[in-house]
Structure 1
């Protein structure tokens, strides 16, 4: 289920970064964090969604943003986070993006 007005931004800190999901009307933020492994691999290590925002598709939207960037920018993903790993298992067309 898509959340109307959900805004996802990417914050790159060189050796790592995070995707942030801001929900309209809430001061809570969902996050997907990653660490760089070389120039072409990102290790997705944590997906964090506050309890009051769970079940609204925020974690899925964060992973989708990471995958879209991987396709656009040419990096591959190590799905270390169990949620990201589960999304990869449910989306076999992402296999080429797995490091």
Structure 2
């Protein structure tokens, strides 16, 4: 699935669309120049159980690594994944 990125002045989203409709997304807001807040993850019921949320998180993490950012996990999914997965520690705020 093609994951797209939309940036705005205060934040952005990585998302998947089907027929012009978003069917999955992970959103973030800029906290400052070195931190982003992962504030929302959503996957349509038709995609549940396919690892889509993790794919979105992985893209967000790669974005943070490329930009040398830390991620503040406000979204419950991101918070749980940061606690479970040691490989994400380098981007955790």
Give the match's secondary structure for 1:37: strand
- Partners of 2:41 and 2:75 lie apart in 1 by 7
Q: Once superposed, which parts of structure 1, at least 4 consecutive aligned residues long, lie more than 4 Å away? A: 25-28
2:3 corresponds to: 8
Name structure 2 gaps, 5 residues minimum.
none
Equivalent residues, number = 93
Q: What is the TM-score when the length of structure 2 is the normalising length?
A: 0.89
Name structure 1 gaps, 5 residues minimum.
1-5
Higher strand proportion: 2
Q: What is the TM-score when the length of structure 1 is the normalising length?
A: 0.84
**Two-structure CA RMSD over aligned residues (Å):** 1.8
- Partners of 2:72 and 2:84 lie apart in 1 by 15
Q: Is the 8 A contact 1:30 1:58 kept in 2?
A: yes
